[in-house]
Structure formats: structure tokens, C-alpha cells
Amino acid sequence: MDMSNRQIYQVVIEHQASYSYSLELEAGERVTISDKKGNGWAWCINREGIGVWVPEKYLERKEHIGITLFDYSSAELTVIIGERLTFIKEESGWIWCTNQKGQNGWVPLYKVKKL
């Protein structure tokens, strides 16, 4: 993809990653879905017992069992005011982006502004 066409966002509110770990899920992976919900996200637990937030749109749900429809990473970025991020996609109030060190992760949309 031509990087010159990428949207750049600037951090306006500092963000500290919520969890010290992240989880990579592959499409077709089975997870347990808890009753904990948050604005388009579901708390899911993998077979090793690790819990992360997953966009509800990424799940085929059958009661408390979910099958992931897409590959997914729960990685969050810790960012500081003024930092620039390259936008990749938006999902339920968060953006998946790349920081200037080349790391990918989620950042809340309200903590950034489009340049």
C-alpha cells in the first residue's frame, strides 16, 4: 500500500495500555465469551484462560461460545501527547494504528485527532 496515502493521527490525550499482555487470535479460533461487555466489545477467554477484549463484529456467537471470524490482536499502544500514528482501521471507538517505532496496537479514538 502507498504510505503517502495513509491517514496520520496525532495523540491529544496520553494513553497507557490497559494490560501488560496482548493476545493474538487466529480466524476460526474458539473462545468463551463472558457477560462483561463494553460498547461493541466482548470479553473473551481463550483455551489457555487468557482474557482480552475482542470486537463483537469479529465473533460468530453461539451463547457463551465464540468463533473468531478474523485474525485479531488485542495489543494496545501506550502513547504520549504529540506522538503521530499511522491509521489502519477503526473499530467501536478505537483505532488500530502504527506508531513511529513501527509497533501496531489499539488506541482510543477520543485520544487522537486526524491531521
pLDDT one-digit tens code per residue, 16-40: 999 999 999 999 999 999 988 788 9
- Is 81 in the same domain as 66? no
Q: CB–CB of 17/74 below 8 Å?
A: no
Q: Are 70 and 27 in contact (CB under 8 A)?
A: yes
Regarding whether 90 and 51 lie in a shared domain, the answer is no
What total number of domains does the chain contain?
A: 2
| 37-81 tens-digit pLDDT | 788 999 999 999 999 999 999 999 998 999 999 999 999 999 999
Whether the pLDDT of residue 104 is over 50: the answer is yes
d(CA 74, CA 106): 7
Same domain, 8 and 36: no
**Cα torsion 38, 44, 45, 51: sign:** negative
Parent domain of 100: 3-18+76-114
Residue 28 and residue 68 in one domain? yes
Q: Are residues 69 and 80 in the same domain?
A: no
